[in-house]
Amino acid sequence: MSACVIGHITVKDEEKWAQYRAQVPGTLAPWGAELLFRGQLAAVLDGQHRHSDTVVIRFPDQAAADGWHASPAYQALIPLRREAANLDLLTFND
Protein backbone atom coordinates (compact mmCIF):
# COMPACT_ATOMS: atom_id res chain seq x y z
CA MET A 1 0.00 0.00 0.00
CA SER A 2 1.55 3.31 -1.05
CA ALA A 3 1.64 6.37 1.19
CA CYS A 4 1.33 10.02 0.26
CA VAL A 5 2.88 12.86 2.19
CA ILE A 6 0.83 16.02 1.80
CA GLY A 7 2.21 19.37 2.84
CA HIS A 8 0.03 22.44 3.29
CA ILE A 9 2.33 25.44 3.15
CA THR A 10 2.40 29.18 3.80
CA VAL A 11 5.70 30.66 2.68
CA LYS A 12 7.24 33.27 5.01
CA ASP A 13 10.58 33.82 3.24
CA GLU A 14 10.72 33.18 -0.52
CA GLU A 15 14.53 33.02 -0.69
CA LYS A 16 14.83 30.48 2.11
CA TRP A 17 11.91 28.52 0.69
CA ALA A 18 13.71 28.28 -2.66
CA GLN A 19 16.83 27.01 -0.86
CA TYR A 20 14.79 24.37 0.96
CA ARG A 21 12.92 23.25 -2.17
CA ALA A 22 16.18 22.87 -4.08
CA GLN A 23 17.51 20.43 -1.48
CA VAL A 24 14.43 18.26 -0.87
CA PRO A 25 14.61 16.13 -4.07
CA GLY A 26 17.95 14.68 -3.00
CA THR A 27 16.39 13.51 0.26
CA LEU A 28 13.48 11.83 -1.56
CA ALA A 29 15.39 9.76 -4.12
CA PRO A 30 16.73 7.10 -1.70
CA TRP A 31 13.16 6.39 -0.56
CA GLY A 32 11.63 5.82 -4.01
CA ALA A 33 9.44 8.90 -3.67
CA GLU A 34 7.68 10.65 -6.54
CA LEU A 35 6.51 14.27 -6.56
CA LEU A 36 2.88 14.10 -7.72
CA PHE A 37 1.70 17.67 -7.34
CA ARG A 38 2.84 21.11 -6.32
CA GLY A 39 0.48 24.04 -6.64
CA GLN A 40 -1.10 27.15 -5.22
CA LEU A 41 -4.59 27.38 -3.79
CA ALA A 42 -7.10 28.63 -6.34
CA ALA A 43 -10.21 28.73 -4.12
CA VAL A 44 -11.72 27.30 -0.95
CA LEU A 45 -15.03 25.85 -2.06
CA ASP A 46 -16.27 24.96 1.40
CA GLY A 47 -14.92 25.30 4.92
CA GLN A 48 -11.64 26.95 5.81
CA HIS A 49 -8.05 26.41 4.76
CA ARG A 50 -5.19 28.47 6.16
CA HIS A 51 -2.40 27.69 3.67
CA SER A 52 -1.68 28.97 0.15
CA ASP A 53 0.35 26.07 -1.29
CA THR A 54 0.17 22.28 -1.36
CA VAL A 55 2.62 19.52 -2.24
CA VAL A 56 1.86 15.80 -2.64
CA ILE A 57 4.65 13.20 -2.64
CA ARG A 58 4.01 9.46 -3.11
CA PHE A 59 6.15 6.85 -1.36
CA PRO A 60 6.12 3.10 -1.98
CA ASP A 61 4.74 2.53 1.53
CA GLN A 62 4.33 4.12 4.96
CA ALA A 63 7.70 2.80 6.12
CA ALA A 64 9.43 4.70 3.29
CA ALA A 65 7.55 7.90 4.14
CA ASP A 66 8.47 7.56 7.81
CA GLY A 67 12.06 6.69 6.93
CA TRP A 68 12.40 9.74 4.69
CA HIS A 69 11.02 12.08 7.35
CA ALA A 70 13.29 10.62 10.04
CA SER A 71 16.36 10.47 7.79
CA PRO A 72 19.37 12.60 8.74
CA ALA A 73 19.28 14.18 5.27
CA TYR A 74 15.72 15.46 5.70
CA GLN A 75 16.05 16.26 9.40
CA ALA A 76 18.96 18.56 8.51
CA LEU A 77 16.58 20.63 6.34
CA ILE A 78 13.89 21.14 8.97
CA PRO A 79 15.45 24.24 10.59
CA LEU A 80 15.62 25.93 7.17
CA ARG A 81 12.05 24.83 6.41
CA ARG A 82 10.80 26.31 9.66
CA GLU A 83 12.46 29.63 8.88
CA ALA A 84 11.06 29.60 5.36
CA ALA A 85 7.45 28.51 5.85
CA ASN A 86 4.65 27.38 8.09
CA LEU A 87 3.89 23.79 7.12
CA ASP A 88 1.43 21.10 8.10
CA LEU A 89 2.85 17.75 6.96
CA LEU A 90 0.54 14.73 6.85
CA THR A 91 0.63 11.16 5.57
CA PHE A 92 -2.21 9.21 3.95
CA ASN A 93 -2.34 5.58 2.83
CA ASP A 94 -4.28 4.39 -0.19
Residue-by-residue pLDDT tens, the chain, 94 positions: 999 999 999 999 999 999 999 999 999 999 999 999 999 999 999 999 999 999 999 999 999 999 999 999 999 999 999 999 999 999 999 8
| Residue 7 to residue 90: CA distance in whole angstroms | 6
The answer to whether 14 touches 91, Cβ cutoff 8 Å, is: no
Domain boundaries of the chain, sorted by first residue: 3-43+53-93
Is the CATH code 3.50.30.50 the one for domain 3-43+53-93?
A: no
Instruction: State residue 31's pLDDT score.
Output: 98
Instruction: State residue 13's pLDDT score.
Output: 98
Instruction: State residue 73's pLDDT score.
Output: 98
Instruction: State residue 9's pLDDT score.
Output: 98
pTM score of the predicted model? 0.93
Instruction: State residue 63's pLDDT score.
Output: 98
Q: Which residues contact 2 (CB under 8 A, 6 or more apart)?
A: 58, 59, 60, 61, 93, 94
**Residues facing 34 on adjacent strands:** 58
